Chains A and B, each alone.
Chain A
Amino acid sequence: MRRLWYFLEKILPARLTTRIMISMVFIVTLAGIITTLAINQILAHSLIQEEINSGRAITTSLGENLANSLVEGNLASIQDSLNNILASNSDLVYIFTFGPHTPIVHTFPNGFPRDLFALINSQNYSSGILLKTENGLVRDFKYLPLDGSNAEVHVGISENRIQAEQRQVTAIVLGLTAIGCILAAIATYFLSRLTTYPLVELTHRVHQLGEGQLNERISYTAGDEVGELASAFNTMADKIQAAIQRLSVSEAGYRTLLSAASEVGEGIALISEQNGKDGTLLFVNHTFANLVGFQPQDLIGLNIASVLSPDSLDRAYAAWESIHSGESQTGIIELTLAGRHGESHIVETASTRIEYQDSAAIVWFLRDITERKMREQELRLRNRELSALNAVAFAMSEPYSPDMLQRGLHEALQALELNIGWVTVLDTNGNGHVAACEGMQFCSLPTRFPNCPCGRSLLNGTLALVTVNEECLLNSSIEIPTLGLQHATVPLGRPEKMLGALSVAYSMPRSFDEHNLRLLSAIGRQMGIALENAHLWEELRLKEQLHSELLASSLHVQEGERKRIARELHDATGQSLSAIMFGLKAVENAIQNDPLHIQPLVARLKSAVSDTVRELQGIIYDLRPSVLDDLGLVPALRWYAESHLGREGVKVVWEITGKERRLPSEIETALFRIAQEAITNIYKYAKANQVDFLITFGDSVVNLKIKDDGDGFDVADTLGHHSQDGRGLGLLGMRERAELLHGKFWVESSIGSGTCIIVELPLQMDEIAL
């Protein structure tokens, strides 16, 4: 039954009016067909029965009429009767008869059909025998007029008329049925239209209601079922209007909430919940739409998969599946959105389930954390860099040594996740050697270094990516094939002071990515800094050692000077003061006892004081000649040179170039002390005959050159053994003074060729001009 119903539902039109029409037509047709069939059968039966009755009557009557003639053998009478009967009834096809003593008398004009012999002496059927002839069906009726004798009367009656009538009646009935169907269809159409008009009206109102025209009502007050339906519709519309009003208020609240969420940067989307997999976007706020580069209206109706990155689909679906399975909300999940132009946005999402427009939906909250992720990534990279740099710095946080570089190289390779690397170090002459290597069998720089490709980084001061060639260090240092290998080389140090290079390579043909290159550069800088620091530490250590020696020397000199001053003070000034004291006591006594001796005493005291003062001035002058402060450098140098070299018989030659002028005090003091030390060394060690002083006053520098023709000395040896030779300390002191004032100091000397001291000090703007 259900199958029949389903079949009917499939083939029948949807319109009620059409269905009613079809039903009515079907009913009328069915009734017509049944009627036709019934009438057909009844008519056929009736006509056939009538025919049979008629045939039997005709045959019986004819038989009765012919009986006597058959008995008497009155053939003429019989033939005449047959012909008359045949002529009088158009339904008769033939008549034949025979009697006990007569041949067959028949009405066939051309001879008796032999096929009819079968009817003679055959069983007599009350309804005759139906024959099929070339002219249609013929029913043969047989009558035995003379019981017990061989006499038969056969009448053949055509059934064509019956069939014609049958067809005619059938056609009439079917025609009437068809007319009835048409009339029924028309009547049904109008009736159904009349009936369904209120329903159509109701449907129209429902459509209007569905389109939002909530004020529409139906004014159909009939007391029938449609009237009840109209009343129910009006009630429903009232309730819907009230519900929509409440919904609007609620939705306004939701929209306000969503808008507020948009303003704080929260993206919100509503996804239809269909089996937890196939979600259609029902609503998105501007934040969400902007995130993926669309307008909100463009996204409505799209599948959520169109805005999700393929690698996030499974996680999203799993989360929503959990909601579909009963969880109220998901935890925070990170997903990737695919923007309209291919950009990706990493978002934090959380989902929950709500009812939206009477159907289940998933509310999807998301926040763009792309920037945060990038920063985190950046931070991780930075951390990695810092860790790498820390490791490198820690590894190299010690005085310079090959082990330091090896450890630094190892940490660098660890940080870069590489296993082949080497460190090239330059000496003071610019020659390089491999100070550390790892992942290589032997390390020796190519002969062209640093003019080879990797040495170019040293020349340019930039990172170089070098494809390994036959002259490359790597080509001969590893067992693996170097075809296609590439190594990266970063300089260590500053462009103005290159210390070496760090080179690293993959053990397979692979390109260096930007991060690794950046990290390598950072490591290079760190390593360079560490290397430079190591050098500086070494220099500092040396300098501090020198300083200590200088300080010790200075202290020693100071102590010597103090001793000298103390001796001179003690020997001269002290005694003079003591004499003065005695003299004063004598005066005191004289005042009391001998006032007359006061004056000579005072005169002697004055002379003693003058001598003492003179002695003190000599001491003071030796400490710091006032001429330096009063007259300047040149007069002070002249005085000192004359006083110390001249008295030794050394000829002093002066050459002053430039605009002689007063220099800042510290410049003059430094130049004076340097010259003082040089002069001291000359008269102590040089055994010179002549000393040339050349002072050049420039605009921005002052140059002092002191050249003697003495014995000279080995400068490196003297400086290297300064602790054993005071001259070495003196030279270091001179250099220290010059460098303290950002100047330069040279000493040129060789044994037997004299010595030349050159000092160049920069001048400041606020010098005093003569």
Chain B
Amino acid sequence: MSMSRRSLPFIAWLSVFFLVACGAKPDLVVNLSENLEQDVVWPKINNSADWQIAFDPRLEPKDDVRQVASLAGWLEKQSGLSFGVYIPTANISVVDSICTGKAAFAVVGTVSYLQAHQQCDAHILVRGLNAEGSDTYRAAIIVAPDSPLQTITDLKGHSFAFGAINSTQGNLIPRLMLEHAGLTLEDFRNYIYTGSHAATANAVTSHHVDAGALQDTLAMALAKRGLVRILALSEPYPSSGIIVAPNVPATISSLIQETLLKLDPTGKDASALYEWWRTEMPLGFVRASDEEYEDLRKIALIIGILSP
């Protein structure tokens, strides 16, 4: 047998080894070192939705966006209209977005509604049902579990955290509570607006402030875990809802209203919604009217949230 024949098995044995690895096929060929854009690059925005939904910042911005986005997606499915999320910025608030037509609808707290209504005659379509099924909500003043403060009046001389300045549960209702307790902002050693209920809770739990005001649901959830102690709980006030910009056709407005009333967040629509249980309308919506917020409107005027 010749040498070449003898070496055949060995060559075959070796060559197999080189056939083992097989690589994946790339989807795209790019060059990361050339054809570079030196300037600031703005991506091409694909925003083709017909109707934008804005929102009052309440939770973390991303949660707010997701929740509203999930609602928008549900509305789109239900109504057949295309919905998008309009994210208010520091420059353009939710009220501005409604009143300037950037957003057609908005998920807002009471204060923002009152402002929008005052500013551009935005109307409220529906109001949320809280975890108890009530269409009212409360505010809670919390302290750290080890805080010595026991009553609202004990807050005097201490630091205090409000939520967003336009937050009903985070600012408006706690102001009433303080007022009813005879306290004003000057009674605090210092006070801050955290911008959200979660930030307020963080400020209290981290002892940055001695007390804070936030939504009752979050307060009760934190208190249940022993993270905070509820110092005081407010009276029920009409909860947050969804408003419509004045330039939205009545038919659309009516359609959306009726559609929102059918929302079943804990039932068939639960999967379409993002952490809806963390919203102020965890159990859905009830019909709302502007007249029902008259009392709050008056309070807001009093405390200066609304300009006269």
**CB of A100 closer than 8 Å to a CB of B:** yes
Residues of B within 8 A of A146 (CB): 62, 65-66, 69, 85, 87
Residues of A within 8 A of B16 (CB): 29, 33
From B28, B32, B43, give the contact of A121 (CB < 8 A). Answer: B43
Residues of B within 8 A of A (CB): 1, 5-6, 8-9, 13, 16-17, 20-38, 40-47, 60-62, 64-66, 68-70, 72-73, 83-85, 87, 89-90, 274
Segment touching B, from A110-118, A236-244, A322-330, A506-514 = A110-118
In the assembled complex, the Cα of A150 lies from the Cα of B52 at a distance in Å of: 13
Given A104-B41, A104-B42, A131-B27, A147–B1 Cβ distance below 8 Å? no
Chain A CB within 10 Å — which of B22, B25, B27 has the most? B27
Residues of A within 8 A of B47 (CB): 150
Question: Is the pair B8, A11 in contact by a Cβ cutoff of 8 Å?
Answer: yes
Question: Is the pair B32, A135 in contact by a Cβ cutoff of 8 Å?
Answer: yes
From B20, B30, B37, B83, give the contact of A111 (CB < 8 A). Answer: B37
CB distance from B55 to the nearest CB of A (A): 11
Chain A minimum-CB-distance residue to B20:
A36
**CB of A589 closer than 8 Å to a CB of B:** no
Chain B minimum-CB-distance residue to A181:
B13
Residues of B within 8 A of A106 (CB): 41
Question: Is the pair A147, B27 in contact by a Cβ cutoff of 8 Å?
Answer: no
In the assembled complex, the Cα of A257 lies from the Cα of B288 at a distance in Å of: 139
Residues of B within 8 A of A181 (CB): 13
- State the 5 A-B residue pairs at the shortest beta-carbon distance, nearest first: A111-B36, A67-B62, A148-B69, A71-B61, A115-B30
Segment touching B, from A166-174, A386-394, A645-653 = A166-174
In the assembled complex, the Cα of A115 lies from the Cα of B41 at a distance in Å of: 13
From B13, B27, B42, give the contact of A130 (CB < 8 A). Answer: B27
In the assembled complex, the Cα of A560 lies from the Cα of B5 at a distance in Å of: 133
Given A73-B89, A121-B46, A134–B33 Cβ distance below 8 Å? yes
Question: Is the pair A112, B85 in contact by a Cβ cutoff of 8 Å?
Answer: no
Residues of A within 8 A of B30 (CB): 113, 115-116, 118, 131-133, 138
In the assembled complex, the Cα of A77 lies from the Cα of B32 at a distance in Å of: 24
Question: Is the pair A103, B41 in contact by a Cβ cutoff of 8 Å?
Answer: yes
Question: Is the pair A101, B89 in contact by a Cβ cutoff of 8 Å?
Answer: yes
Chain A CB within 10 Å — which of B27, B29, B62 has the most? B62
30 A/B residue pairs, CB under 8 Å, sorted by A? A11-B1, A36-B20, A40-B20, A68-B61, A68-B62, A98-B43, A100-B87, A104-B42, A112-B36, A113-B30, A113-B31, A113-B34, A113-B35, A114-B37, A116-B32, A121-B44, A130-B24, A130-B25, A131-B29, A132-B28, A135-B32, A137-B24, A147-B65, A147-B69, A149-B65, A149-B84, A150-B46, A170-B20, A170-B21, A174-B20
**CB of A20 closer than 8 Å to a CB of B:** no
In the assembled complex, the Cα of A138 lies from the Cα of B85 at a distance in Å of: 32
In the assembled complex, the Cα of A178 lies from the Cα of B17 at a distance in Å of: 10
Question: Is the pair A134, B26 in contact by a Cβ cutoff of 8 Å?
Answer: no
In the assembled complex, the Cα of A119 lies from the Cα of B25 at a distance in Å of: 17
From B32, B37, B40, B65, give the contact of A71 (CB < 8 A). Answer: B65
From B33, B44, B83, give the contact of A120 (CB < 8 A). Answer: B44
**CB of A145 closer than 8 Å to a CB of B:** yes
Question: Is the pair A147, B87 in contact by a Cβ cutoff of 8 Å?
Answer: no
Residues of A within 8 A of B69 (CB): 146-149
**CB of A517 closer than 8 Å to a CB of B:** no
CB distance from B217 to the nearest CB of A (A): 21
**A71-B61, A148-B73 known, 13 other contacts, Cβ within 8 Å:** A40-B21, A67-B61, A67-B65, A104-B42, A112-B41, A119-B28, A134-B31, A137-B26, A145-B62, A146-B69, A147-B70, A150-B43, A150-B47
Given A137-B26, A148-B72, A71–B31 Cβ distance below 8 Å? no
**CB of A37 closer than 8 Å to a CB of B:** yes
Question: Is the pair A132, B65 in contact by a Cβ cutoff of 8 Å?
Answer: no
Question: Is the pair A64, B41 in contact by a Cβ cutoff of 8 Å?
Answer: no
In the assembled complex, the Cα of A181 lies from the Cα of B26 at a distance in Å of: 36
Interface size on A, residues (CB 8 A): 63
Chain B CB within 10 Å — which of A25, A67, A146, A148 has the most? A148
Question: Is the pair A33, B20 in contact by a Cβ cutoff of 8 Å?
Answer: yes
From A22, A132, A174, give the contact of B29 (CB < 8 A). Answer: A132
Residues of B within 8 A of A170 (CB): 20-21
From B20, B38, B66, give the contact of A147 (CB < 8 A). Answer: B66
From B13, B26, B66, give the contact of A131 (CB < 8 A). Answer: B26
In the assembled complex, the Cα of A115 lies from the Cα of B31 at a distance in Å of: 7
CB distance from A74 to the nearest CB of B (A): 10
Question: Is the pair B35, A115 in contact by a Cβ cutoff of 8 Å?
Answer: yes
Question: Is the pair B32, A94 in contact by a Cβ cutoff of 8 Å?
Answer: yes
**CB of A254 closer than 8 Å to a CB of B:** no
Chain A minimum-CB-distance residue to B16:
A33
Residues of B within 8 A of A110 (CB): 33, 36, 38
Given A68-B62, A72-B61, A115–B32 Cβ distance below 8 Å? yes
Question: Is the pair A68, B60 in contact by a Cβ cutoff of 8 Å?
Answer: yes
Residues of A within 8 A of B25 (CB): 130
CB distance from A154 to the nearest CB of B (A): 11
Given A40-B20, A113-B32, A130-B25, A148–B85 Cβ distance below 8 Å? yes
CB distance from A136 to the nearest CB of B (A): 10
**CB of A697 closer than 8 Å to a CB of B:** no
Given A68-B60, A104-B41, A48–B31 Cβ distance below 8 Å? no
Chain A CB within 10 Å — which of B9, B42, B64, B87 has the most? B87
**CB of A741 closer than 8 Å to a CB of B:** no
In the assembled complex, the Cα of A100 lies from the Cα of B55 at a distance in Å of: 14
Residues of B within 8 A of A93 (CB): 32
In the assembled complex, the Cα of A148 lies from the Cα of B70 at a distance in Å of: 8
Residues of A within 8 A of B13 (CB): 25-26, 29, 181
In the assembled complex, the Cα of A368 lies from the Cα of B78 at a distance in Å of: 126
Residues of B within 8 A of A29 (CB): 13, 16
**CB of A108 closer than 8 Å to a CB of B:** yes
Question: Is the pair B21, A166 in contact by a Cβ cutoff of 8 Å?
Answer: yes
Contact with B along A430-447 (1 / 0, CB 8 A): 000000000000000000
Chain B minimum-CB-distance residue to A97:
B43
From A33, A121, A132, give the contact of B17 (CB < 8 A). Answer: A33
Chain B minimum-CB-distance residue to A156:
B32
Question: Is the pair A71, B62 in contact by a Cβ cutoff of 8 Å?
Answer: yes
Question: Is the pair A174, B36 in contact by a Cβ cutoff of 8 Å?
Answer: no
Chain A minimum-CB-distance residue to B49:
A148
In the assembled complex, the Cα of A273 lies from the Cα of B119 at a distance in Å of: 127
Chain B minimum-CB-distance residue to A35:
B20
In the assembled complex, the Cα of A621 lies from the Cα of B13 at a distance in Å of: 149
Chain B minimum-CB-distance residue to A140:
B28
Chain B minimum-CB-distance residue to A171:
B17
Residues of A within 8 A of B46 (CB): 121, 150
Chain B minimum-CB-distance residue to A72:
B61
Residues of B within 8 A of A64 (CB): 62
Residues of B within 8 A of A70 (CB): 62
In the assembled complex, the Cα of A668 lies from the Cα of B177 at a distance in Å of: 220
Give the residues from 382 to 421 in chain A that come closer than 8 angstroms, CB to CB, to chain B.
none
Residues of B within 8 A of A114 (CB): 35-37
Question: Is the pair A130, B87 in contact by a Cβ cutoff of 8 Å?
Answer: no
**CB of A129 closer than 8 Å to a CB of B:** yes
Given A26-B9, A103-B41, A146-B85, A131–B17 Cβ distance below 8 Å? no
Residues of B within 8 A of A22 (CB): 9
**CB of A163 closer than 8 Å to a CB of B:** yes
Given A115-B31, A131-B26, A37–B20 Cβ distance below 8 Å? yes
Residues of B within 8 A of A135 (CB): 32
Residues of A within 8 A of B41 (CB): 103-104, 106, 112
Residues of A within 8 A of B85 (CB): 146-149
Question: Is the pair B65, A133 in contact by a Cβ cutoff of 8 Å?
Answer: no
Give the residues from 34 to 91 in chain A that come closer than 8 angstroms, CB to CB, to chain B.
36-37, 40-41, 44, 48, 64, 67-68, 70-73
In the assembled complex, the Cα of A73 lies from the Cα of B89 at a distance in Å of: 8
In the assembled complex, the Cα of A101 lies from the Cα of B24 at a distance in Å of: 37
Residues of A within 8 A of B6 (CB): 13
In the assembled complex, the Cα of A462 lies from the Cα of B287 at a distance in Å of: 169
In the assembled complex, the Cα of A148 lies from the Cα of B35 at a distance in Å of: 31
